[in-house]
Amino acid sequence: MGGLADLGRFSEPALHILISLAPGPRHGYAMQDDIGELTGSRPGPGTLYGAIRRLEEHGYIEALPEQDRRKPYRLTDAGRAALNAELQRMRALAATGLRRLAVA
Amino acid sequence: MGGLADLGRFSEPALHILISLAPGPRHGYAMQDDIGELTGSRPGPGTLYGAIRRLEEHGYIEALPEQDRRKPYRLTDAGRAALNAELQRMRALAATGLRRLAVA
DNA sequence: ATGCGATGCTACGCGGGACGTAGTAGAGGA
DNA sequence: TCCTCTACTACGTCCCGCGTAGCATCGCAT
């Protein structure tokens, strides 16, 4: 309850997945746990695997050979670049916003 | 084209509106311009006024008396607090992500 | 005076992402 | 044998993002 998240699409699961894959390959369930630790809320399967599919279609992540009924994914170079760009954009926007709040 | 924005809701119009109102009251059209400068893309009226309505319903912004067919809005205390919290969260997440990218 | 662009907002509809729930299935422990 | 944890698939609803269209007013130039 409370917070901007009530207003809709502030959760950005795709971004969280990319951040989760930044240190190395991970399968879906492990991403859920990692994102839960990162953000405080664990995405459900509908959210997660939907976002994974779209990220794969865009070429930002790719599946590794399945083993032991786990499907690991890793960042592609394009995904790494896109993540980097997005994070820089976020950092700059946050800085601008906080500056504006401080002045006012 | 390209970039994470293709994947859906990375634009977060509500956040942009709050940032736009941080320095002081502004009416809708002025927000469009300001957000356009901030983010590089000017939101259409459907996006903007929809988000404004929801923000007002949540008590994050409030309308000032209309003058000259302009409806100015300003941040409420709750809106200011919510914006601050969201920006800190964003900054922390961006920092974490960038750290992970740098190490890997 | 009148045409025209910029301003400022309302109304409306479509597409698709976010999210929850249910279901499937193997592995491991009590 | 039953339950829990792991891991994913399938499915449906909700509602936000976004574009388009429409309308009214103002300023400015012709």
Which CATH number covers residue B52? 1.10.10.10
* Residue B5 pLDDT > 90: no
pLDDT in tens, A20-44: 999 999 999 999 999 999 999 999 9
- Please give the residue range of the domain that contains residue A15: 4-103
- Asked if the Cβ–Cβ distance from A3 to B86 is below 8 Å, we say yes
Q: In this structure, is the CB of residue B32 within 7 Å of any atom belonging to strand D?
A: no
pLDDT at A1 over 50: no
pLDDT of A6:
56
Is pLDDT of B24 > 90? yes
* Spatial separation of the C-alpha atoms in residues A51 and A40, rounded to whole Å: 18
pTM score, whole prediction: 0.90
Task: Return residues 8-27 of A near B (CB < 8 Å).
Answer: 8-10, 12, 14-15, 18-19, 22-24
Is B6 a residue whose pLDDT tops 70?
A: no
Q: How far is the CA of A70 from the C1' of C24 (A)?
A: 15
Residue B11 has what pLDDT?
58
The domain tally of chain A equals 1
Determine the residue type at A1.
M
Does B38 have pLDDT greater than 50? yes
